[in-house]
């Protein structure tokens, strides 16, 4: 097995297992996966991006944190990483807990 396949497996594992720092580093290396559909959300230093973005800037960047396409999620993660270069910006498998709370309240 070559190093690129090992990195792809590690990225998928890190997204599923919520290993934020591992996910952040692998995405910074440019590791890509084939298109995956499901529920994914972005975190900034372990906090859902929708909350972190609001608390750090005072408004939403409009990027959104929850996605059903892994590729779209990675694109938005890279934009958040540009906004917060020193932060650990990761992708988590599942639904954003903040979005779920708002849906239940509605």
Backbone angles phi, psi at 93, to 5 degrees: -80, 130
Query: What's residue 106's pLDDT?
Result: 47
CA distance 88 to 86: 7
pLDDT in tens, 56-71: 655 555 667 888 999 8
Query: What's residue 31's pLDDT?
Result: 92
What predicted TM-score, i.e. pTM, was given to this entire model? 0.78
Q: Mapping DSSP to helix (H, G, I), strand (E, B) and coil, where does residue 30 land?
A: coil
Please classify residue 59 by burial: count the beta carbons closer than 10 Å to its beta carbon, then call 0-12 exposed, 13-18 middle and 19+ buried.
exposed
Q: Mapping DSSP to helix (H, G, I), strand (E, B) and coil, where does residue 52 land?
A: helix
Query: What's residue 19's pLDDT?
Result: 92
Task: Give the chain's domain count.
Answer: 1
Query: What's residue 59's pLDDT?
Result: 57
Q: Which domain holds residue 48?
A: 3-105
């Amino acid at each position: 097995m070559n190093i690129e396949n090992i990195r792809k497996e590690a990225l998928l594992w890190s997204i599923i297992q919520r290993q934020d720092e591992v996910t952040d580093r692998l995405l910074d290396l440019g590791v890509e996966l084939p298109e995956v559909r499901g529920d994914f959300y972005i975190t900034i230093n372990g906090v859902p991006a929708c909350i972190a973005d609001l608390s750090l800037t005072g408004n939403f960047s409009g990027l959104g944190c929850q996605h059903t396409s892994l590729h779209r999620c990675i694109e938005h993660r890279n934009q958040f990483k540009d906004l917060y270069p020193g932060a650990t910006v990761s992708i988590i498998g599942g639904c954003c807990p903040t979005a779920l709370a708002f849906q239940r309240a509605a």
